[in-house]
């Protein structure tokens, strides 16, 4: 058997996670902590959340590039604003994804997030990733830095910023509190850990 054929056979025993770049850090951390060396990851740009119409076809391309190489493929995306289009692509390709509409839900736990959201729909949520890149994605990305008059348009219906933390990082907590101040919202902190992402990866590793 050629070396190339051997490599393909070896990879066939592995699982590929096709993930949003916004959760790449968490996936890498879980892989490192647990020694899941047969889980591999490929990511699509996190910035696509600003243009979610790109996500379904981007995921489809990744699936088709890798479906003959990996024994199992799992998509680590919520619906993420695709209006069901991502799920339609996954059904056509025969691929499953993590449960949940977005990463807030699968980090917090689906039932816990639904309960939290139902109790107060005026919350704006941050994860570790969004906290780390708040200025780039929110202040600059939404044009608020240059046009502060846009702030009420985007956040006028919110009352709280809730930082859903994957890690207990005092520096990120400070940044999240500063983010709340910048957009004029009351700050709240909730530690979630890796939530159902950890469960998904543990199951995939077996």
- pLDDT attached to residue 162: 98
- pLDDT attached to residue 72: 94
- Which tens digits make up the pLDDT trace of 59-79? 999 999 999 999 999 999 999
- Stated as kind and residue range, the H or E segment containing 134 is helix 134-134
Q: How far is CA 96 from CA 72, 75, 92, 113, 139, in A?
A: 10, 6, 11, 21, 34
> Do residues 78 and 48 touch, judged by C-beta distance below 8 A?
no
Burial class (CB in 10 A: 0-12, 13-18, 19+), 145: middle
Q: Is the pLDDT of residue 113 over 80?
A: yes
- pLDDT attached to residue 3: 35
- Which tens digits make up the pLDDT trace of 27-69? 999 999 998 878 999 999 998 988 999 999 999 999 999 999 9
> Do residues 48 and 81 touch, judged by C-beta distance below 8 A?
no
> Do residues 204 and 72 touch, judged by C-beta distance below 8 A?
yes
Show the tokens assigned to 25. 């850090």
User: Helices (H), strands (E): how many in the chain?
Assistant: 11, 7
């Amino acid at each position: 058997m050629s070396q190339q054929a051997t490599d393909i056979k070896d990879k066939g025993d592995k699982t590929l996670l096709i993930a949003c770049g916004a959760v790449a850090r968490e996936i890498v951390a879980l892989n490192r902590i647990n020694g899941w060396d047969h889980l591999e990851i490929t990511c699509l740009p996190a910035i696509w959340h600003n243009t979610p119409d790109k996500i379904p076809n981007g995921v489809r391309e990744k699936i088709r590039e890798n479906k003959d190489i990996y024994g199992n493929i799992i998509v680590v995306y919520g619906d993420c604003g695709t209006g069901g289009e991502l799920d339609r692509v996954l059904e056509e390709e025969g691929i499953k994804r993590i449960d949940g509409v977005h990463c807030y839900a699968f980090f917090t736990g689906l039932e816990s997030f639904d309960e939290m959201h139902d109790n107060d729909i005026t919350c704006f949520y941050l994860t570790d990733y969004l906290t780390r890149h708040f200025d780039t994605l929110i202040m600059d990305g939404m044009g608020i830095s240059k046009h502060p008059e846009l702030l009420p348009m985007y956040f006028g219906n919110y009352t709280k910023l809730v930082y859903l933390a994957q890690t207990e990082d005092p520096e990120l907590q400070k940044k999240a509190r500063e983010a709340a101040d910048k957009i004029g919202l009351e700050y709240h902190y909730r530690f979630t850990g890796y939530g159902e992402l950890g469960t998904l990866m543990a199951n995939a590793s077996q």
